[in-house]
Amino acid sequence: MEYWLSRHPFKVRTEVPMPANRLVTAFLGASCLLAAALGAHSAEPGNDQALLDRIVAVQAKAVSMKAVFAQRTTNTTAPDDPPRVMRGHFELVPPDRYNLVLTSPGDADWRQRFVCDGRLSAEIEQVVPDLEPTLVVRPAAEGDAGIRRIISCARGDLTELGKDFSIRATAREQGGALVVLSPATADVAKEVDRVRIELGKDLRVTALTLDQPGGARIAVTIESAEYDAAIAPETFAIPAK
C-alpha cells in the first residue's frame, strides 16, 4: 500500500513510522532560525529582505487557515505521461493542529487523511469501501515532518521553512511576490530541488510548485482560502483504533 505522497506527489516509505525527514508540511512562531536563514541570503540578487519581512508579518497574524486546493503532478523526464491529479482541503490552527484530506477524481473510493490534535498525529487511508481504513497513530511531531512542511508551504510559513531552506523573495510585476526555497541541508536536497511559492497582492499563497531530484514536479493551486475563522475542535480529533 502506498501513501499519497509516493503514489501521487511525493516519495514516502510505507514502513511505520514514516521517517521524519520525508516530504509529505508546521506551524511555529517567529524565531532566530528565520532571521539566520533569511539574513544569509539578503545580499543575493533578486532577494528583497523588506518584502520577506512583510510576508512573515502577514503570516504571523493568522490564527487559523482553511483551504481547498488542486494538485497536479507531472514528470519532467516523461513529458508525454498524463498528469496525476488530486484534490484536497486542509484546516490548521498554529502551532500544531492540522487536518488534511486528499481525494482522487479518478478513484471515488480512495481517501487519505492526515490529522494532528497537538498531542497525537494520525494517518488514515481508505482504499475500498469494503475494507477498514488503515490507521497509524503516533506522538505529534514524530514522523509527520513532511506533512508539516507541505502545509507550511501552502500557508507561507517562512519561519518554519527557514529551518530547512534558504529563502529569496522578489516582487511580481502584477503585484504580490514570488518566494523561492533552496535546500539548506544535504538531507533536504535529497528530497527536493526547489520550491516556488506564489503570493497574491495580499501576500497570501495562491500557488506553489515543488521540483524533486527524480524529475517529479508537483503543482498546487489554492482554489479558496479563509483565515482567522473559528474551526471546531473535533476537526482535529484522532480516530480511535
**Whole-number pLDDT of residue 17:** 40
The closest alpha carbon to 22, from 86, 90, 114, belongs to: 114
- Does any domain span residue 206? yes
**Whole-number pLDDT of residue 163:** 92
For the segment 188-196, the average pLDDT, to the nearest whole number, is: 94
- Does any domain span residue 176? yes
User: Which of 17-31, 33-47, 112-126, 150-164 shows the highest mean pLDDT?
Assistant: 112-126
**Whole-number pLDDT of residue 142:** 86
- Does any domain span residue 180? yes
The closest alpha carbon to 85, from 241, 223, 235, 205, belongs to: 223
Comparing 4-8, 109-113, 195-199, 204-208, the range with the smallest average pLDDT is 4-8
- Does any domain span residue 40? yes
Residue 106, C-beta contacts closer than 8 angstroms, at least 6 positions apart? 85
Percentage of the chain beyond pLDDT 70 is 81
Residue ranges of E strands in 14-171 = 65-75, 84-93, 97-104, 107-117, 120-126, 134-139, 165-171
How many CB atoms lie under 10 A from the CB of residue 152?
25
- Does any domain span residue 105? yes
For the segment 75-86, the average pLDDT, to the nearest whole number, is: 93
* Amino acid at site 179: V
Q: How far apart (Å, rounded) are the C-alpha atoms in residues 58 and 179?
A: 14
Percentage of the chain beyond pLDDT 90 is 68
**Whole-number pLDDT of residue 95:** 86
For the segment 161-178, the average pLDDT, to the nearest whole number, is: 95
Q: How far apart (Å, rounded) are the C-alpha atoms in residues 114 and 236?
A: 9
- Does any domain span residue 241? no
User: Across all residues in the chain, what is the average pLDDT?
Assistant: 83
Residue 3 has pLDDT above 90, yes or no: no
**Whole-number pLDDT of residue 28:** 31
Q: Strand 194-199 vs strand 205-211: parallel, antiparallel, or unpaired?
A: antiparallel
The total domain count for the chain is 1
**Whole-number pLDDT of residue 240:** 86
**Whole-number pLDDT of residue 231:** 97
Comparing 40-49, 113-122, 225-234, the range with the smallest average pLDDT is 40-49
Residue 61 has pLDDT above 90, yes or no: yes
- Does any domain span residue 240? no
Domain encompassing residue 97: 4-235
Sorting pLDDT into bands at 50, 70 and 90, what band is 6?
very low
Counting every residue, how long is the chain? 241
Give the cell for residue 44.
543575493
Sorting pLDDT into bands at 50, 70 and 90, what band is 143?
confident
Cα distances (angstroms) measured from residue 67 to each of 53, 70, 100, 164: 24, 10, 10, 24
The per-residue pLDDT for range 83-129, each reduced to its tens digit, is 999 999 999 999 889 999 999 998 999 999 999 999 999 999 999 98
Here the CATH number for the domain that contains residue 227 is 2.50.20.10
Give the cell for residue 27.
506551524
- Does any domain span residue 42? yes
Q: How far apart (Å, rounded) are the C-alpha atoms in residues 217 and 141?
A: 26
